[in-house]
Amino acid sequence: MINVHELKDRELDLSDAISRHSADKTVAYKTVFGEPIYLGYYLPKDFDRENRYPLFVFVHGGGWASHMIFPDQPHWQGDYLGYLARYYADRGFVSVSIDYRLSRDNGQAPHYEILDCYEDCCDAMDYVMEHAEEYAINTEEIYLLGESAGGHLAGALATFHYDRTYPFKKAFLVNPITHFEDQWQGRVPCDSVHPRLKDLSFEERAKFLAPLEQICGKTCEAVLIHGEEDNVVNPEHSRRFHDRMAELGRPCEVHMIEKTSHAFLLAEYSKNRAACKIGIEVINQALEG
């Protein structure tokens, strides 16, 4: 395990990215019961459709049940990870931030279960892949990042292979929920109308929904970043995911940031800007490696 405190702090200035946290273009990639669900594109400076750009996909957290619309936005336009999408667009990526239907009744409401959130993310990815030419995306160089519940959804995109798969080069999972064996068990539907879950027992549903349980030989390289003092998602979620990846011979790193709790990567939410910058530094080094 790499000691993140040995990494050089490059004194990252995030103020410009924060000031431009809204997507350059938002698209309603689907509707759910008449409600539009958006994804947002962040384009590199001097964007040129004759070039080909790597793609960086971001999935926000919020317990699967909330998202952020800032006062300067007419509707959802990137969420708390919007600033990070902008930061990487300025570094030469086409960045895409994905929204999804928000679960209801702790994921117990029909059609608003966690698996429905995941399948929205799949539909968003399908839209992005189908429009890759329009946005000059290099589909052989795709990176993925999710935070908290978004870390679960990103982990699901990287590990679930029952329906659709995507050619991610690396998945960055930040304080992710990777299983449902602790307090997060309450988000597993007790009864489900979803065709993938309705005939399974509760225990089988919990395993089906857990990225930890779905890791296989096709799982892409992963980098996990977690606060050692996270009191929302226990750090063992990341450690166990790393250990399972290692058991199956899949490349994986895990980085623990000391004196750091949950949501540290959200620069417009967390007060721990130092931990936020360390997290970005870990991502940068993994991208350069």
Summarize pLDDT for 89-103 with one digit per residue, the tens. Answer: 999 999 999 999 999
**List of domains in the chain:** 4-288 (3.40.50.1820)
Q: The pTM is what? A: 0.96
Question: 269: burial class by Cβ within 10 Å (0-12, 13-18, 19+)?
Answer: middle
Beta bridge partners of 25: 41
CB 42 within 8 A of CB 89: yes
Predicted confidence (pLDDT) at residue 6 exceeds the cutoff of 70: no
Q: In the prediction, which pLDDT does 11 show?
A: 73
Cα separation, 117 vs 123, whole angstroms: 10
Q: In the prediction, which pLDDT does 2 show?
A: 40
Cα separation, 91 vs 81, whole angstroms: 15
> How would you write the chain as a 3-class SS string?
CCCHHHCCCCCCCCHHHHHCCCCCEEEEEEEECCEEEEEEEECCCCCCCCCCEEEEEEECCCCCCCCCCCCCCCCCCCHHHHHHHHHHHCCCCEEEEECCCCCCHHHCCCCCCHHHHHHHHHHHHHHHHHCCCCCCEEEEEEEEEEECHHHHHHHHHHHCCCCCCCCEEEEEEECCCCCCCCHHHHHCCCCCCCCCCCCCCHHHHHHHCCHHHHCCCCCCEEEEEEECCCCCCCCHHHHHHHHHHHHCCCCEEEEEECCCCCCCCCCCCCCCHHHHHHHHHHHHHHHHC
Residue 162: which pLDDT band, with cuts at 50, 70 and 90?
Answer: confident
**Per-chain mean pLDDT for the chain:** 95
25-35 pLDDT tens trace: 999 999 999 99
Cα distances (angstroms) measured from residue 145 to each of 50, 75, 80, 121: 26, 22, 13, 12
Mean pLDDT of 223-238: 97
Q: In the prediction, which pLDDT does 217 show?
A: 93
**Of 12 and 223, more confident:** 223
Give, rounded to a whole angstrom, the gap between the first and last alpha carbons of the chain: 16
What is the token pair recorded at 136? 């000059």
**How does 171-184 read in b/e, with b if 16+ C-beta sit within 10 Å?**
bbbbbbbbbbbeeb
The proportion of the chain whose per-residue pLDDT surpasses 90, expressed as a percent, equals 93
The proportion of the chain whose per-residue pLDDT surpasses 70, expressed as a percent, equals 97
Q: In the prediction, which pLDDT does 1 show?
A: 41
244-268 pLDDT tens trace: 999 999 999 999 999 999 999 999 9
Count other C-beta atoms under 10 Å from residue 33's C-beta: 7
Residue 159: which pLDDT band, with cuts at 50, 70 and 90?
Answer: very high
68-127 pLDDT tens trace: 999 999 999 999 999 999 999 999 999 999 999 999 999 999 999 999 999 999 999 999
Cα separation, 218 vs 40, whole angstroms: 28
